[in-house]
Amino acid sequence: METKKTDIQVQEPYYSQIASGKKTVEGRLAKAQYQNLEPGDVLTINEYLEKEIVDIRPYDSFASMLKTEGLDQVLPGTSNVDKGVKIYRAFYPESLEKKFGVLAIELTNALERCLFMDQTTCPVGWAMIEANLSQ
């Protein structure tokens, strides 16, 4: 089986949370571009950061995903599920959530590559390398 790479865009602060390992689950609508993802595939995030997919779990709604996956893994720093749903509503209307459903894409820290790395384009990647070297 060939590893697939899929490009996604993630806004701050979520990009930095993924890069640092605080955010381990990315929530997305279950649209066609994510339907064929499998464990072992790679997400390229904002063209610079690569994360390996550990698992993909379907949900009927963002609320059920947040309750099951946990706020700390999906939206670190968010105090409750209602606030978490409001964050997702800024990206996806409820009508699309009902139409497509939701995917929880679990990411690992085992594959941590920053592409085209320098301190300007990927400062979080530099911090991750420095932290890993000191371990």
CATH number of the CATH domain containing 109:
2.30.130.30
- Quickly count: other Cβ atoms within 10 Å of residue 21's Cβ: 14
- Predicted confidence at residue 3, as pLDDT, reads 81
Rg (CA), the chain: 15
List, for the chain, all residue ranges whose pLDDT scores fall below the cut of 70: 1, 110-135
Residue 15 lies in domain? 5-133
Two structure tokens written together for 32: 């066609």
Which helix (H) or strand (E) segment holds residue 85: the answer is helix 81-89
- Predicted confidence at residue 132, as pLDDT, reads 47
- Predicted confidence at residue 76, as pLDDT, reads 97
- Predicted confidence at residue 54, as pLDDT, reads 95
Task: Give the global pTM.
Answer: 0.82
In angstroms, how far is the first alpha carbon of the chain from the final one?
33
**Structural domain count of the chain:** 1
- Predicted confidence at residue 121, as pLDDT, reads 47
- At residue 54, what are phi and psi to the nearest 5 degrees? -90, -45
- Predicted confidence at residue 112, as pLDDT, reads 54
